[in-house]
Structure 1
């Protein structure tokens, strides 16, 4: 569709701006989705690292549960006879530093140093009181202070007797708490109020760990937890922004290009229609409707024609669907009604003469059509009648009983256009109670050439007559077609045989010429 240079430039920039805006929005959304997904994946990886660390520590401690206490408390045994047994247990478990025997709240024997005598309650009060089964402490034996993890394994319900398993946790942390950058910069073991961090061979109070962990996970079996420190998942995801940028840019560019093409074929075509309504570029044409019995012109069907500002005709097959698609069909219909009202003086001022206007189903939403008829048509106090044509190819279900009743009370006739070519025709006859059925021109054109369509045409005629609904045959182009419809008592005829569509201002001269020279030649049907 051609446009002026100003309109073309305006729409070019509008389409470009729209495409850029949608492209940027797509880029932001794509990157946002990628960052969100990456954040979720990194968070899951950090949780997985914490769970895996917990599982490794639990696997380290669990073999101690299987060590029997009974063989070590047989009568007559002392540390000298018990120490070899404890040392064998240490060698079997491998990860242990030492095992100590507790009897009657006294630590009496150690696999590492032999016979000892320590008060269990004083040396390890948290274990003795049952506050925990684990304790982090620094070993007092050896030249260096070595971090150890002590596991208390009481003899069943007897809290005064059992075994203490001492793990050289400072060494074990080299693989138990090993960080996994960039998801975990530091992993810390927490037992009660003490912490041990990877790479730092010393136990520190938990209160000194001032940073907030990004992941904190407790063991479900033992009294310890694991803290992971480092950058949170969101920060790590944003650091990988550049890796997502190429794909996101490609998607946004393709989206922008698609929007630019789409707006060129759709949005830019809606603008001239709106402008044409404002500039009164649409012209009202009409086609006479002839009574089949006596040849009188009993009405007209109004039609819209568009000659744009460059004096070029635009087909209704182009602008009507576009107007419906872009929500301009109602303003276009209002424009038509206003134009007809301004030209009422051109038509016979009698109630049996009617003007037919095509109305889209969208016009019936929320009683809009009722209000428009009242304000635009009835306010002019016309002496002739108005008929609304509803095409069966649209969704006529949008009409309500209330709307139909109000229109009938206002004296408005309803017609179903293109009857027989849409869907649910019979149900519409019941719900709409139309005054007129218009036989589609495809059926009229089949007269004398297509036996099947001719049969359908006869069926429609018979149905309408039994229901006492008037019929108008569209597309009558030959005398044969006119005679065929007249013999079957079709009420009115419309088509090129009588007149092509004409500008509404020419209708009075056409009507005068027709009534003077042609109507008298309309012979009665025998």
Structure 2
């Protein structure tokens, strides 16, 4: 798959669109997370405001509890004796308006007005009935209906004796119920069905409240609760949107830039290879394969070398994996087959001479390799044979018997390259029915140095000979390796000992020199200088 200029432009637009989409998605996601987190924080702050208000009211009422009084009152004494003591207690507690004494179901004395004779059940029936100990109501002893908070502390279980603590809550509410915007625009004290709001010197019923509260916090000690009114936490969080935009936009821009650059890595790696194929930057090299018996050159393995447009040599270890990764290995192989077919004249027209080409397993998908050989190789009417090398590290199990059969019918030889370095080698022998096994250069290099790998090498040689398969040893570099392999009747040898890879057009010159140098000489004594 080559990249045309139109394809490059489309891919560039795709990268821009992908980067923009990811940037927008990141922006929305970042803002969503920030707003959600902000809403959670605001909700916690609103809860804290309500809880703090409840705690302040509890501290207000706490000194009036029996545990907070120094000496209990003697209710048998007259009001003229009790009133000074009550007034002292009011002064000591500071926040109280008055204290009244209840004896035998009657209010008998008040720190504010002195002697009284009022029925508790008529005046404050909820206290005498024991339904509550706290009541919010307007004052009965002032010209103005000032809101008061009355706390009842009975001294007997029948609620007929005790003390009434009256707080001027209308004044105290100015700091107890003070709003704390933006979390709480209004704070309301709820006692039963009566309510008192900050800044309003009047008691209202629950039915007259403007709208349901955001939340309510109930006291665990007294019969009251506090309600918070204001904007919802989510609404307040959305109001903070402008403050979150700069960071979110920055993160989204960084994400979009990263996506654009990363998505460009594919084209940045694939395009130079595609460009190199279309501009014939790849050069075909070949390395001779030598018959171990008589020293004749019986074939070559073709290799790709790349000198890019910057006149830099790129290693096959770099561009071959990249071509496989980006789906260009088939195009590269077609280029190789076509170039070899166009240069068949450089090879000798001797019987049995073959040209070996490395083929990736994915080239066998949908009979592509069969079609390519018919279109690119056979029309050239080659006088040499073609051998396809499949590396054992590729997924050879994907090959099908029908493809193998058609290749055999066309006279194509099959070889397993780097035999012994992959997995399930024996199953591949059955599937591929190869003509040749190539011993990997790692095993060849171990001859004389690594006893374990040398044993593996001997095993591969024995296996191939019992299966009547030809053997080619790669990476032959020393006289010792030549002797070792010839002694074990390995059919062919390939490596620097005989020749380094050379440009395909140089091969005829090398072959002529090699043939002259091997006349009347033992092949193992020949070491080419090319």
Range class of TM-score, shorter chain = 0.7 to 0.9
Q: Secondary structure at the match of 1:182?
A: coil
What's the offset of the Cα at 1:174? 0.8
Is the Cα contact below 8 Å between 1:98 and 1:167 reproduced in 2? yes
2:448 touches 2:454 (CA, 8 Å); kept in 1? Answer: no
The 10-residue stretch of structure 1 (286-295 or 77-86) with the greater mean CA deviation from structure 2: 286-295
Cα distance in structure 1, aligned partners of 2:419 and 2:129: 90
Partner of 1:252: 252
Displacement of 1:56: 0.7
- Following TM superposition, by how much is the alpha carbon of 1:53 offset from its aligned partner in structure 2, in angstroms? 0.8
Which sections of structure 1, spanning at least 5 residues, go unmatched? 364-368, 416-434, 445-452
Secondary structure of the residue aligned to 2:227 is: strand
SS of 2:212's partner is: coil
**Distance verdict in 2 for CA 1:335–1:454, change over 3 Å:** closer
Matches of residues 401-420 of structure 1 in structure 2 within 5 Å? 406-411=427-432
1:357 aligned residue: 390
The 1:205/1:524 distance shift into structure 2, 3 A limit, reads same
Work out whether residues 437 and 464 of structure 1, in 8 Å CA contact, stay in contact via their aligned partners in 2.
Answer: yes
**Compared CA separation, residues 7 and 144, structure 1 to 2 (3 A):** same
Q: Provide, for residues 287-340 of structure 1, a one-character-per-residue CA deviation record: whole Å limited to 9, x for no partner.
A: 66556456578998676678999xx99764444333455577799934534436
Alignment correspondent of 2:335: none
Deviations 1:371-390 (A, max 9, x none): 43446435655677745557
Residues in 2 aligned to 1:479 and 1:135: alpha-carbon distance in whole angstroms: 108
The equivalences for 1:52-71 within 5 A come to: 52-65=52-65, 66-68=67-69, 71=72
* Distance in structure 1 (CA, Å) of the matches to 2:416 and 2:152: 94
Match of 1:428 in 2: none
Residues 101, 108 of structure 1: 8 Å contact kept: yes
The answer as to 2:200 corresponding to 1:200 is yes
CA 1:473/1:179 → structure 2, altered by over 3 Å: closer, same or farther?
A: farther
- CA contact 2:283–2:503 (8 Å) conserved in 1: no
CA distance in 2, matches of 1:437, 1:520: 28
Deviates more, 1:206-215 or 1:516-525: 516-525
Judge conservation of contact 2:75–2:101 (CA < 8 Å) in 1: no
In structure 1, distance between residues paired with 2:329 and 2:419? 14
Give the whole-Å Cα distance in 2 for the aligned partners of 1:266 and 1:239: 42
- After superposition, the Cα gap between the structure-2 partners of 1:131 and 1:328, relative to the gap in structure 1 and judged at 3 Å, is farther
- Tell me which of 453, 465, 468 is aligned to 1:460: 453
In the alignment, what sits opposite 1:370?
397
1:185-205 Cα shifts (integer Å, max 9, x gaps): 111111121211111111111
Q: 1:325 to 1:208 in 2, by over 3 A?
A: farther
Distance 1:341 1:5 in 2: 28
Other structure's SS at 1:258 match: helix
TM-superposed CA distance for 1:90, in Å, is: 1.0
SS where residue 62 of structure 1 aligns? helix
* Structure 2: gaps of 5 or more residues: 333-359, 465-470, 526-530
Q: Does 1:190 align with 2:211?
A: no
CA distance in 2 between partners of 1:330 and 1:130 (Å):
94
SS at match of 2:152: strand
SS of 1:440's partner is: helix
Q: Tell me by how many angstroms 1:270 deviates.
A: 4.2
Greater shift after overlay, 123-132 or 178-187?
A: 123-132
Tell me the TM-score normalised to structure 2 length: 0.72
Cα displacement string for residues 485-513 of structure 1 (whole angstroms, at most 9, x for unaligned residues): 5367484532353573888xx99x99x99
Which residue of 326, 336, 340 corresponds with 2:363? 336
Deviation of 1:264 (Å):
2.9
Partner of 1:483: 482
Matched with 1:14 is 14
Greater Cα offset, 492-501 or 32-41: 492-501
Q: Does residue 230 in structure 1 map to residue 230 in structure 2?
A: yes
Structure-1 separation of matches of 2:88 and 2:95: 13
**C-alpha distance 485-107 of structure 1, shift in aligned 2 (>3 A):** farther
Q: Is the 8 A contact 2:370 2:403 kept in 1?
A: no
User: CA 1:282–1:136 in structure 2 vs 1: closer, same or farther (change >3 Å)?
Assistant: farther
Residue 81 of structure 2 corresponds to 81
Mapped contact 1:341–1:377 kept (Cα < 8 A): no
Q: Does structure 2 conserve the Cα–Cα contact (< 8 Å) formed by 1:390 and 1:414?
A: no
For residues 207-232 of structure 1, give each alpha carbon's deviation from its aligned partner in whole angstroms, at most 9, with x where no partner exists. Answer: 22242322221122222111111111
- Whose radius of gyration is greater, 1 or 2? 2
TM-score (norm 1): 0.73
**Aligned CA distance change for structure 1 residues 327 and 525 (closer, same or farther; 3 Å):** closer
Do the aligned residues in 1 keep the contact of 2:281 with 2:307 (CA within 8 Å)? yes
Aligned to 2:145: 145
Equivalent residue, structure 2, for 1:440: 442
Given that residues 330 and 363 in structure 2 are in contact (C-alpha distance below 8 angstroms), is that contact kept between their aligned partners in structure 1? no
* Cα offset, 1:281, TM superposition: 12
Which secondary structure state, in structure 1, belongs to the residue aligned with residue 23 of structure 2?
A: helix
Specify the SS of the correspondent of 2:161: strand
Output the CA distance in 2 between the equivalents of 1:154 and 1:291: 119
**Residues 359/233 of structure 1: CA separation in 2 closer, same or farther (3 Å cut):** farther
